[in-house]
Structures are given as structure tokens and as C-alpha cells.
């Protein structure tokens, strides 16, 4: 195979990459492990089709899932075509804006007509083109794109002025002109976003001493039943005062409700209430009317409504049906944050319904039969909003990203002639990051392909980390079941990471059950083992990371080639603040956003088993389980794939940050042979000994000169032979006095990280440096001496230690 003559230069490819490029299989999945050169393989496939198979470039479709990925693919194709080297230099020039790159990219595509004929698009951009060209059959082809954020999509020239969130709020306001809907929405917001009543144990009558329940009016009351009564007053426009103070014969008490319009008190009796006979007697003495309601009646809201209507009716002159007009803005003026969170949940449900294979009628029925009031209530509110959203977008000729897909699918399904035209055009379809596909995207690919179409998919099931966004790992793991007469080919060489990192990440991911087994090998043999830091006290991890970063930068590693990764942003907030003014441009990323990146040095934060640690397999809210049930084991496997992605971002140095006594299970999955351990030095020659500071020969107590090298014994340093070298040094440094006070802010801040910062060098320190310089790395010396890397380096140069 290596000697096969081709116009396309395949000499830089390994055997598996070359086999993928030359394959004639019509349904091929290239399993590309992390750092295995998948993009390189895909680009060579395109060049091979054009140069060797003489395929017309217009017949090739390359699909990606992000705009950055499609731009990178085009850039690398242009670089390979541009023999002058100018374009490669241009795109790698710092300070060049995105707009400038886009302009130059389009200019170069025009210079190479065959590249301009290729269709290299995100899947949404492809659908955009399909609907713009042929969508008039199923939609208004002069549509606009409505996005989640105004600046977050690739169709800025044709974007609606409104965002998805703004439209959801607008239709909700319209629905809120219906008073029952408005009050139900407010009740939901108060119960599940303000009071969090679903966090409390279910009791017949939860009546704490504090007032935890918010009424529609905005009062805080003690129980769910009292909240129900207060809400009944509010719905019927009856004013009330909660727990109004009453004084009778010098004593004070607080009946539950006072209705000024009727001059009536209402006392609600539950099994948690204090005995009420004393209150009743006092009310009679004062000549006040007091009505009682009982908790048993609250178990049936219809009955309780009738009771309230009966006991209050006739005592108020106003017509109970003449309700005050309520307004959305007024009702939610104090709950803007909470209502926006609700809107995000509605949008999440809307997206999941679109990508689900369940009919919406089935989802509605299952939600209505839920055992949980919160779930039932949510869907009673969400479904009308979702329907109104859809109608609003249709009226305005708006499409969101999912709408692009659904309308393209509808068009290709309903119009066979249009489907055949696209199938005839795209004879070769290449799909990048296939592990990220969802149901709609696979359905679209099915419609674009026919038996003779060559479908070339590249992906890695070990890097499938977007299940929360709807991606389905089953399509890549069960590729042969979904695509008949298909083949799998594995790119098993990792060109990015060192051997310990590759072996450790491979062993960790093997714990997953739902995967395609493969053996990945590192091209870069040797390399440093993985370092793990176990924090014992708050703040130690940040100090450790800071020192490690300083060390690597001093070694010549660019700060931009250092990457700090975390599962959730909160894990890194303190470290980001600490490094903000350091001047170092270290990259901070969530693991999800770091997909596709690499760095020489990588730190992974939060690998502990405490709350908020990693893994953190959040079981999805019961609201979403109605659409698609999720399983804890499946979520844990996705967390492990996320860990694998994090590990494989590292090229040379990898640090895992954990906590003592709460080590993440993911760290335990890594075999000890790939982890760096400080090995103790055993020395049992004698109880006490004195070493020569020059050649480390053992000296007797009375020696003034070393008999081995003749060096003058400046000062005897007594060392316990039962201690390790590191412990010996730590003891000596710890006993050294401080002569420089923390007399300014700069010294105080420096000594938080480096205990002997700004301290004059002691003779003992010089002696230790001369003796042990060769025994420890600069990073370890910095830690032992409590001084910065640069301080250690300067002192060594001053002492002229070779």
C-alpha cells in the first residue's frame, strides 16, 4: 500500500490513514482517537477524490457541526493549495481579526475555483442553503434566523431582531392576558423558583415556625393551606391582612387572616396549629366575628373553594366575580430572574421535543399523568407557550436552528424530485465529528444519500460529550446497524500526547461499557508521568498551580500553551482571579469548550468526590425525563468520556488536582505506573552524620576540611539519616529565622505563596543548594526553599554552582 502511486501526496500518512483515504467503501466510519490526525485524513480524502478519482468538486459535501471547524477545514485546504505560503502565514499572524480572516478566505477561494466549488458547511448552513434555494415549497424562503443570542450565529446578515428568549417572553405576556393562566404561572414561579417547596418533605400540613411560602400577593405565610387561602382572596380581588395583631384585655394574639371588607377574621385550623379555643373566647369578648376553616378540607381544592365561597359570600358587598385586572409586568416585577430561568427551561423542553422521536401528543399525555404536581403544572404552562412560539415564528417567517433541520427534512421527504437532485449532486459526503450527531441530523443524512453515495464519517465514540444537547452516541457505536454494508477503520496512533498520557487516558475510558474497544498507541514515547496534587487546606491547589505555571514559563513554555480545564466555571473562579494580574495569558476553559484544543501543559481541576466535584453526573430534571428518560450509568459514562477529552488535551505535562480524603473515582481508574510519585531515599548508615557541602562526603564531627575534596567546612549541618533528603532540607529551612518583616503589602502577598520571599539568603541555604542542586528540579527547589523559581536560579548563578 505504501508504494501505491497516487497524484495526491500520501507519504505523510500512516498505514491506517492511507487506508481510509483510499477506501472505496460506500459507508465507512473512521474511528479517529484523540490526536490521531483525523482532520488531516479527511482533507487528504478530499484531495484524493479530486486529483486521483477526478471527482467534480461540486459533487463533494463536507459537513461539520461548528463554524470554526468548517473554517479550519477550508483554511487547511487553501494552505495545501497555496504554494506561496502566504495564506498560512496570514492566518497564523497574531492580531488578525475574524472579519479580516473571513475576507481573505473568500478571496483565496476565488483564486482556486475547485475549492470554491466544494460544499464545506456546518449542517445548519447546509439546511439554510437548501431552504433558501428550494424551501418555497414548505416555507417562506425569505425567512430570517432567530437565535438564542443576537451575536451567536453564523447568519448575522439575515438574523431576526428578536431572540428566542424575547419571543418566549412576548408570547407569555400575550397568554397572561388570561387571568387563570397568569395566576397559575405566578403560582409556579413562587412555588418552584422562589420558595423551592419541592425541596421540602411531603407532609399533610408543613407548618414551620418561619414563613416559607409566598402568596400571589407577595406575603410570606407559614403553610401551604394558608397560601391557598391567601391566593383565593387574591384571585377574587378580596383584600386581606395576614396575622393582624389583636389586643384583648391586655393580651396580644394574631388570627391568620383579617378581611377588612367584611370586618371578619379567619382562623385556619390544622393538626399543627396551636389550640384555638382561647383565641375564640378572646374574639367573642372583643365582639369580633371569626370564621374557622379546617385542614382536612384542603385535600380537595374544589371542595375548599366552595367552603371559602360559602363562608365569605354574603359578608362582602362586592361581586366576587368582578376581579381586578392583573398585569404581567406588575405580577413579575420582583421575580425577573426567576421568570427568565423558567423561560430557559421552556426553551430547553422545546428543543428536546423537536429532537425527540416521541410525538408531542404522547409527551403531553405522559406529563398530564405524572405523579408530580410540579411536572404536570410545568407542561400545562409550557405547551401553550411552545405552541404560541411556533405560531409567532411562522407568522414572522422566522426559523431557529432546529427549524432549519425540520423544514429541510420535510422538504426532502415530501418532494422526491428535489431529494433526488441533492442526492445526484452530492455523490461524496464527508461528515466530521460524527459522534456528535442527533436524530434530526442522521435523518437528514439518510435523505441526502442513496445506495451509490459514498458516506465517509470521521469520529470517536470516546469523545461523545454532548448528550445533554441531544447527541446520540448510539449512532457511532452501532454504526453497522444504522448503515448497511458499512465498514469500520481505526486510526490508533496518537501524535499529540506522550506515552504516559495516552496509556492513562486509554485505561480510564476502558471502564465504560457502551463503547467500541480499541488500542491507542503514542507516537511520542517516554515523557513525564502524570502529576497529582492532593489539596489538604483551602488555597493550596491555587498556590501549587501558580508555582507550576511559573516553572514551566521559566523553562521556556509560552503561557498561551498552558491550559487550565474544569467541569464547571465555579471550580476555577478563585484561580482565575489570582492569575488575572499576573501578565500570563494562560488559557482557562470548560472541558466542553476545550474540545479540539491542545496544549503542552494541562491542569484539570475539581477531581474530588465532594459536592461540585468531577465526576458530577447530574440526573436530569423530572421535567425533561418526560421527553427522554436518562439513566445514572449513562450519565456517568458521558462524564468519563468528558474526563478522557480533558486528559487528551495535554501534549507533554498533565496535572490532576484533587483533595486529600476525597479523591475522584476517575483518578483511581488510572494505573499507578502512569503517575509520578516522590520516592523516599533510605539511608540508615548512622543516627547522625555531617555532609561536605561540596562533594557530599560523610564527615566526622571534628573535621575542619573534607578529606575527599579539601573543601573548608564552613558550618556543620547535622542531618538525621533516618529522614529523606527532602525532609532533611525542610527541617533546616523551617528552623531558619526571619530577618525581614512583612512591612508592606507586596511582601505580605508574596509570602502567601513563597514563605521566604524577600528574605536575605542564609549560609545554610547556600550550603543546601551546593549539596542538593542536582537532586531536585527547579520546581521542587522552589517549593522546598519557599522562594520563586527566578530567585533560586539567580542564587545558583551567584554561587557559580555548575
Known binding-site residue numbers: 32-39
Q: Can you read off the three cell numbers belonging to residue 112?
A: 482556486
Give the chain's radius of gyration (CA, Å): 35
Q: Give dist(CA 189, CA 185) in Å, integer.
A: 6
What is the DSSP pairing of strand 264-269 with strand 289-294?
parallel
The residues, ordered by sequence, that sit 6+ positions from 495 with a Cβ below 8 Å of its Cβ are: 35, 36, 37, 523, 524
Strand residue runs (E) in 40-147 = 60-64, 119-122, 144-145
Q: Give dist(CA 73, CA 54) in Å, integer.
A: 20
Annotate 235-269 with DSSP letters as a single string. Answer: HTT---EET--EEETTEEE--SEEETTTTEEEEEE
With cell 560523610, the residue in question is: 698
Any idea what DSSP says for residue 550?
H
| Phi, psi dihedral angles at 641 (to 5 degrees) | -65, -35
Any idea what DSSP says for residue 191?
I
Which among 777, 745, 752 is positioned nearest to 537, based on CA atoms? 752
* Annotated binding residues for ATP: 32-39
3-state SS record for 645-675? HHHCCEEEEEEEEEECCCECHHHHCCCHHHE
Residue 688, H or E segment: strand 688-691
Asked if 588 contacts 576 with a C-beta cutoff of 8 angstroms, the reply is: yes
Dihedral (CA of 757, 760, 765, 770) sign:
positive
Burial 320-331, CB ≥16 within 10 A → b, else e: eeeeeebebeeb
The residues, ordered by sequence, that sit 6+ positions from 604 with a Cβ below 8 Å of its Cβ are: 565, 566, 591, 614, 643, 646, 647, 654, 655, 656, 657
Dihedral (CA of 328, 331, 335, 338) sign:
negative
The residues, ordered by sequence, that sit 6+ positions from 120 with a Cβ below 8 Å of its Cβ are: 62, 64, 70, 73, 74, 77
Q: In this structure, how many other beta carbons lie within 10 angstroms of the beta carbon of residue 414?
A: 11
Asked if 271 contacts 205 with a C-beta cutoff of 8 angstroms, the reply is: yes
Amino acid at each position: 500500500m505504501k508504494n501505491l502511486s497516487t497524484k495526491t501526496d500520501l507519504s505523510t500518512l500512516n498505514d491506517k490513514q492511507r487506508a481510509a483515504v483510499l477506501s472505496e467503501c460506500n459507508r465507512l466510519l473512521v474511528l479517529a482517537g484523540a490526536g490521531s490526525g483525523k482532520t488531516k485524513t479527511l482533507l487528504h480524502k478530499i484531495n484524493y477524490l479530486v486529483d486521483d478519482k477526478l471527482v467534480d468538486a461540486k459533487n463533494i459535501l463536507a459537513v461539520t457541526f461548528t463554524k470554526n471547524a468548517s473554517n479550519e477545514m477550508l483554511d487547511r485546504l487553501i494552505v495545501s493549495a497555496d504554494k506561496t505560503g502566504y495564506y498560512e502565514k496570514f492566518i497564523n499572524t497574531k492580531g488578525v481579526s475574524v472579519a479580516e480572516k473571513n475576507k481573505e478566505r473568500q478571496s483565496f477561494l476565488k483564486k482556486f475555483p475547485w475549492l470554491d466549488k466544494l460544499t464545506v458547511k456546518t449542517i445548519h448552513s447546509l439546511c439554510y442553503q437548501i431552504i433558501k434555494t428550494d424551501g418555497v415549497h414548505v416555507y417562506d424562503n425569505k425567512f430570517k434566523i432567530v437565535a438564542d443570542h443576537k451575536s451567536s450565529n453564523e447568519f448575522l446578515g439575515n438574523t431576526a431582531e428578536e431572540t428566542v428568549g424575547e419571543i418566549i417572553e412576548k408570547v407569555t405576556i400575550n397568554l397572561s392576558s388570561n387571568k387563570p393562566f397568569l395566576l397559575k404561572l405566578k403560582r409556579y414561579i413562587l412555588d418552584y423558583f422562589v420558595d423551592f417547596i419541592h425541596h421540602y418533605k411531603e407532609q399533610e400540613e408543613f407548618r414551620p415556625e418561619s414563613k416559607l411560602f409566598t402568596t400571589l400577593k407577595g406575603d410570606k405565610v407559614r403553610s401551604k393551606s394558608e397560601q391557598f387561602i391567601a391566593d383565593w382572596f387574591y384571585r377574587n380581588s378580596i383584600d386581606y391582612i395576614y396575622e393582624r395583631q389583636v389586643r384583648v384585655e391586655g393580651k396580644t394574639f394574631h388570627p391568620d387572616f383579617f378581611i377588612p371588607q367584611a370586618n371578619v377574621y379567619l382562623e385556619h385550623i390544622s393538626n399543627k396549629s396551636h389550640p384555638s379555643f382561647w383565641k375564640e373566647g378572646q374574639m367573642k369578648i372583643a365582639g369580633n366575628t371569626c370564621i374557622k376553616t379546617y385542614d382536612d378540607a384542603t385535600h380537595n381544592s374544589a371542595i375548599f373553594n366552595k367552603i371559602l365561597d360559602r363562608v365569605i359570600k354574603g359578608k362582602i358587598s362586592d361581586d366576587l366575580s368582578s376581579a381586578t385586572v392583573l398585569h404581567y409586568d406588575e405580577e413579575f416585577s420582583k421575580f425577573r430572574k426567576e421568570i427568565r430561568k423558567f423561560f430557559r427551561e421552556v426553551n430547553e423542553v422545546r428543543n428536546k421535543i423537536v429532537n425527540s422521536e416521541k410525538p408531542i401528543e404522547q409527551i403531553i399525555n405522559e406529563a398530564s399523568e405524572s405523579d408530580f404536581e410540579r411536572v404536570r403544572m410545568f407542561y400545562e404552562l409550557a405547551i401553550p407557550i411552545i405552541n404560541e412560539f411556533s405560531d409567532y415564528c411562522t407568522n414572522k417567517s422566522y426559523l431557529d436552528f432546529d427549524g432549519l433541520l425540520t423544514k429541510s427534512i420535510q422538504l426532502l421527504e415530501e418532494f422526491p424530485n428535489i431529494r433526488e437532485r441533492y442526492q445526484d449532486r452530492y455523490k461524496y459526503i464527508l461528515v466530521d465529528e460524527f459522534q456528535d450527531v442527533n436524530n434530526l441530523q442522521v435523518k437528514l443524512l439518510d435523505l441526502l444519500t442513496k445506495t451509490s453515495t459514498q458516506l465517509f464519517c470521521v469520529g470517536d465514540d470516546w469523545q461523545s460529550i454532548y448528550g445533554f444537547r441531544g447527541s446520540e452516541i448510539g449512532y457511532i457505536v452501532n454504526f453497522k446497524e444504522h448503515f448497511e454494508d458499512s465498514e469500520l477503520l481505526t486510526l490508533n496512533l496518537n501524535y499529540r500526547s506522550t506515552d504516559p498520557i495516552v496509556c492513562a487516558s486509554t485505561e480510564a475510558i476502558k471502564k465504560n461499557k457502551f463503547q467500541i474497544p480499541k488500542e491507542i498507541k503514542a507516537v511520542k514515547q517516554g515523557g513525564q508521568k502524570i502529576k497529582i496534587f492532593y489539596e489538604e487546606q483551602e488555597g493550596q491547589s491555587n498556590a501549587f498551580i501558580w508555582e507550576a505555571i511559573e516553572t514551566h514559563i521559566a523553562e521556556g513554555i509560552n503561557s498561551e500553551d498552558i491550559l487550565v480545564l474544569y467541569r464547571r466555571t465555579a471550580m476555577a473562579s478563585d484561580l482565575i482571579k489570582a492569575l488575572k494580574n499576573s501578565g500570563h495569558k494562560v488559557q482557562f476553559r470548560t472541558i466542553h469548550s476545550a474540545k479540539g484544543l491542545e496544549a503542552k501543559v494541562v491542569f484539570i481541576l475539581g477531581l474530588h468526590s465532594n459536592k461540585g466535584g468531577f465526576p458530577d453526573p447530574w440526573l436530569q430534571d423530572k421535567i425533561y425525563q418526560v421527553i427522554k428518560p436518562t439513566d445514572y450509568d449513562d450519565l456517568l459514562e458521558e462524564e468519563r468520556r468528558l474526563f478522557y477529552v480533558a486528559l487528551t488535551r495535554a501534549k507533554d505535562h498533565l496535572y490532576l488536582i484533587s483533595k486529600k480524603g476525597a479523591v475522584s473515582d476517575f483518578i483511581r481508574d488510572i494505573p499507578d505506573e502512569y503517575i509520578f510519585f516522590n520516592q523516599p531515599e533510605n539511608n540508615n548508615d548512622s543516627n547522625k552524620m555531617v555532609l561536605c557541602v561540596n562533594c557530599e562526603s560523610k564527615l566526622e564531627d571534628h573535621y575542619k576540611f573534607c578529606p575527599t575534596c579539601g573543601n573548608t567546612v564552613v558550618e556543620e549541618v547535622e542531618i538525621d539519616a533516618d529522614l529523606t533528603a527532602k525532609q532533611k532540607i525542610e527541617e533546616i529551612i523551617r528552623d531558619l529565622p526571619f530577618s525581614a518583616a512583612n512591612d508592606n503589602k507586596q511582601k505580605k502577598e508574596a509570602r502567601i505563596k513563597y514563605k521566604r520571599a524577600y528574605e536575605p539568603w542564609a549560609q545554610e541555604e547556600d550550603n543546601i543548594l551546593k549539596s542538593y542542586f542536582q537532586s531536585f528540579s527547579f520546581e521542587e527547589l522552589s517549593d522546598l526553599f519557599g522562594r520563586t523559581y527566578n530567585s533560586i536560579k539567580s542564587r545558583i548563578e551567584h554561587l557559580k554552582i555548575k
